Amino acid sequence: MKPALLRWLLWQTLPVTSIAVPIFALFVALYPGPIFWMRDTTLWILILLHGYALHLCLGRPRSSSMAHLYCQGFSRQTLWRHVVVATWLAILAAWIPVAALIWSPARVWIQSNLLDNQRFFVLAPLERSSPVFILIAEMVWMAVLNYAWVREAQPFRGLRGGRWLARLFVIVALLMPFTQWDRIGPSWLVPTAMACWIVVGLIAFWGTFRLQSRMEVRI
């Protein structure tokens, strides 16, 4: 890894991270019930917006600053590796304060003492696993966005399949909370859905890895 390149990429995500951290922290701190990643539309909107904003910072081969980076003395593999790590670090930077709020007594204290939500401490254990699911959801979303970006930048063909996959992801993510599918479906539905999300993320990640070396930098 090249720390200077990683720093350079993280610098680009800094405006998004500095806006996202307080918004996410406030949302989680003030949210009255336990947070379930599959049931909350606002949470999904935050995940989708944050992922898209990061994508704009790190994944635009048609911006002059990205083109500048691709003109420097790094191979495609090196650049891609660093973009992936920078993306993951930016996601962690935004959600770790949220995880800290959930896993520490801070959220229970805020709800009980400041917002007078006395029954929250009983429900709090139900959301313990949410930060992990949120991280997985956003990583899958970033993998899909990166796939869309890299696929579209392939030479000669207008490959828009990646964009359709991203649209499908958004539709599913926004519709899912309304269906209450985790409550009414059979017990195997949630783990199966989780596995499907992860498989989609892995396929998108693998596809991006395969295609990135032939990506064109057009400005």
Partner 1 sequence: MSDLCIETHELGRMFGKTAVLRDISWQASAGNVVALLGPNGSGKTTLFKLVRGLLIPTSGSSTLLGTRSDSLPDSVTNRVCCVLEGCSPPKWVTIRQLMDLHAAAYPQFDRALAEELVKQRGLPLNRRFWTFSKGQQRWAELALSIASRPDVLLLDEPADGLDPAVRRELYDRLRELANERNTAVVVASHVIADVERIADELVLIQHGQITLQASLETLREEVREIELPADQVPLQWGDGMRVLGSKRATSSRVTWVRTPGGDVDRRLQGCLSERAVVRPVGLEMLYFACTEYAEAS
For helices 76-103 and 130-152, the axis angle rounded to 10 degrees is: 160
* CB closer to partner 1 out of 51 and 61: 61
Q: Is 19 in the site for partner 1 (CB under 8 A)?
A: no
Q: Is 89 in the site for partner 1 (CB under 8 A)?
A: no
Q: Is 68 in the site for partner 1 (CB under 8 A)?
A: yes
Q: State the Cα torsion 181-182-184-185 to the nearest 10°.
A: 90
Q: Is 73 in the site for partner 1 (CB under 8 A)?
A: yes
Of positions 41, 42, 192, 213, contacts partner 1 by CB under 8 A: 213
* Contact indicator for 151, 161 with CB cutoff of 8 Å: yes
Q: Is 157 in the site for partner 1 (CB under 8 A)?
A: no
Q: Which stretch binds partner 1 (CB under 8 A): 59-67, 87-95, 137-145, 180-188?
A: 59-67
- Least CB distance from residue 214 to partner 1, whole Å? 6
**Residue numbers of the site for partner 1 (CB under 8 A)?**
2-5, 7-8, 11-12, 64-65, 67-68, 70-78, 155-156, 213-214, 216-219
